[in-house]
């Protein structure tokens, strides 16, 4: 069934905006009486029926509501340095949304070649990914922030930093506690600087390894996402 | 250190081809006496020194050889239906190479919208991924083949098929045996047909789930790759 993202839904009836109305009536050719699904991004999955198939102001009547649809059993926040090639960062956002993530913060590090990202554009990628993978919760994308500002205010039950410096580091599994709030830091192409790593450890982050493979920034971030979701799987 | 892929290396000296010579001397500006790394794709990692910095016929002298460099402790073969949008399939090849894979076979299924792929182009993506992630083994990419032909001749210690049909299915972990040869089937956007699923089970494949998220073809293939590598991690 066709799915629409309606974050501002409140009442028994809902009017799609002009763009969504056009998509619904002109593109999908839906008519009065046809049913569609809606997600509000806050856990609500709705079954709705078209009661006015106006091509600019389509009106829906809500038939059913499921709250906390496919609620996650943990909270995963990944803070990652946006990649020089933005496609790789956006790819991470799409894949992490499919696999399961709650919050993403782009962090600007000493060795970051990219110093900013277009949050609106990135949010659209997350939104289309939740629609594609039928997720009722919309991951939160924060604005980009300097690394040091971020770690000084970041909070979680388990704070981890994945870096490539020498020395034995435990895997996530060795530090893992199920169903917690996790925060994982992933560095830029040139990795975190020694100063940044020291500052993170100082702020209570635990250094971890994501395995022996040399991974690109976006692959490391997705590997971390995979591992946390996998370890919390029931 | 700069890394070159030299699958045909045999002797104590090696001459880079014209393109690689140009890259080495004109682009990277390397000179006689400079050292580079070579990988042969068969487990060999070489340290070499430039003894002739000719821009079209650069000659190297091999200083050191490591064989079976970062040898994998299992063999993973993923047979996946190429995605309609080829970028998604190529993205899977790059990421699976980074995380760890040995063999990929593109399978053409009943519901495949894409019926062929350019193997050379896909192989180039794998090659650049092994260079980027410093892998001495080059994953094998087979030519595309019809699903039914493939399953009739496919062999492995553990043969799995991930499909989205109703019914309880075990996760990979429940069927897992470490350090084996694994073969996993991943279907096209429209999933495998009931006939294809039945044929696979008939041929000794075990149906498994990759979790509760609705994943795109390329994400499902990478999830399987991640799980097998993760379960074999030491």
Please answer yes or no on whether B226 and A229 come within 8 Å at the CB atom: no
B167 or A107, which is more confident? Answer: A107
Q: What is the pLDDT of residue B212?
A: 86
For testing contact with chain A, the best of B1, B102, B226, B233 (most A CBs within 10 A): B226
What single DSSP character describes residue A134? T
Burial (CB count <10 Å: 0-12, 13-18, 19+), residue B168: exposed
Domain boundaries, chain A: 3-66, 75-231
Helical packing angle, B86-99 and A217-231, nearest 10°:
80
Phi, psi of A150 (to 5 degrees): -60, -55
In A72-111, which positions are buried (b, 16+ CB within 10 angstroms) versus exposed (e)? Answer: bebbbbbbbbbbeeeebbbbbbbbbbbbbbbbbbbbbbbe
Task: Place B165 in a pLDDT band, splitting at 50, 70 and 90.
Answer: confident
Which segments of A107-215 does DSSP mark as H helices, in order?
A: 119-132, 147-153, 172-175, 194-202
- Say if B227 is an interface residue toward chain A (CB within 8 Å): yes
Per-residue pLDDT tens digits for B142-162: 999 999 999 999 999 999 999
Name the residue among B91, B211, B216 with its Cβ closest to that of A233: B211
CATH ID of A3-66, from 2.40.240.20, 2.30.30.60, 1.10.287.610, 3.40.190.10: 2.40.240.20
Q: Between residues 91 and 150 of chain B, which touch chain A (CB distance below 8 Å)?
A: 91, 95, 98-100, 132-135
Would you say residue B69 has pLDDT above 90?
yes
Q: Is the pLDDT of residue B61 over 90?
A: yes
CB contact under 8 A, B132 and A215: no
A54 CA: distance to closest CA in chain B (Å)? 31
Please give the pLDDT value at position B149: 97
**What pLDDT, in 10s, does the model give residues B98-126?**
999 999 999 999 999 999 999 999 999 99
Burial class (CB in 10 A: 0-12, 13-18, 19+), B38: buried
pLDDT of residue B234: 82
Is it the case that residue B167 has pLDDT exceeding 90? no
Among B62, B121, B65, smallest CA distance to B89 is for B121
Kindly list the residues from chain A whose CB atom is less than 8 angstroms away from the CB atom of residue B230. Answer: 211, 226-227, 230
- Match 């069927």 to its residue by tokens: B175
CB nearest to A133's CB, from B70, B215, B223:
B215
Residues in A touching B226 (Cβ below 8 Å): 223, 226, 230
What distance, in Å, lies between the first and last C-alpha atoms of chain A?
28
pLDDT surpassing 90 at residue A23: yes
DSSP letter at B213?
A: S
Task: Tell me: ipTM over 0.95.
Answer: no
Measure A46 CA to nearest chain B CA, in Å: 18
Fold of B75-231: Alpha/beta knot (3.40.1280)
Q: How far apart are CA B166 and CA B61, in angstroms?
A: 59
Q: What is the predicted pLDDT for the residue at B30?
A: 96
What's the pLDDT at B213?
Answer: 87
* Residue A34 CB burial class (10 angstroms; 0-12, 13-18, ≥19): middle
Predicted pLDDT at A166: 83
The CA distance from B208 to A165, in Å, is 37
Which residues does chain A have within 8 Å of residue B70's beta carbon, measured at their own beta carbons? 212
Angstrom distance (rounded) from CA A122 to CA A105: 11
**Pair type for strands A45-52 and A35-39:** antiparallel
> What φ, ψ does residue A8 adopt, rounded to 5°?
-100, 15
Please report which confidence band the pLDDT of residue B1 belongs to, taking 50, 70 and 90 as the band edges: confident
For the stretch B185-208, pLDDT in tens is 999 999 999 999 999 999 999 999
- Whole-angstrom Cα distance, residue B98 to residue B126? 9
pLDDT in tens, A142-156: 999 999 999 999 999
- pTM recorded for the entire structure: 0.94
Residue A217 pLDDT exceeds 90 = yes
Name the H helices within A155-216.
172-175, 194-202
């Amino acid at each position: 069934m066709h799915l629409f993202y309606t974050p501002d839904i409140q009442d028994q009836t809902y009017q799609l905006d002009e763009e969504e109305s056009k998509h619904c009536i002109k593109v999908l050719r839906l008519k009065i009486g046809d049913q569609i699904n809606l997600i509000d991004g806050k856990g609500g999955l709705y079954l709705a029926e078209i009661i006015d198939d106006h091509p600019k102001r389509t009106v829906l009547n809500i038939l059913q509501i499921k709250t906390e649809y496919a609620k996650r059993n943990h909270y995963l926040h990944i803070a990652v340095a946006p990649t020089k090639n933005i496609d790789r960062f956006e790819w991470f956002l799409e894949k992490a949304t499919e696999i399961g993530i709650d919050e993403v913060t782009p962090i600007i590090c000493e060795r970051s070649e990219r110093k900013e990202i277009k949050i609106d554009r990135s949010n659209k990628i997350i939104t289309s990914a939740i629609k594609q993978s039928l997720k009722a919760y919309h991951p939160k994308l924060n604005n980009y922030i300097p690394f040091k500002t971020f770690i000084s205010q970041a909070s979680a039950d388990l704070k981890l930093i994945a870096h490539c410096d020498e020395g034995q580091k435990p895997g996530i599994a060795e530090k893992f506690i199920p169903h917690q709030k996790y925060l994982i830091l992933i560095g830029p192409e040139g990795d975190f600087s020694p100063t940044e790593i020291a500052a993170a450890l100082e702020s209570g982050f635990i250094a971890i390894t994501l395995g022996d493979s040399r991974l690109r920034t976006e692959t490391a971030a997705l590997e971390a996402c995979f591992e946390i979701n996998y370890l919390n799987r029931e």
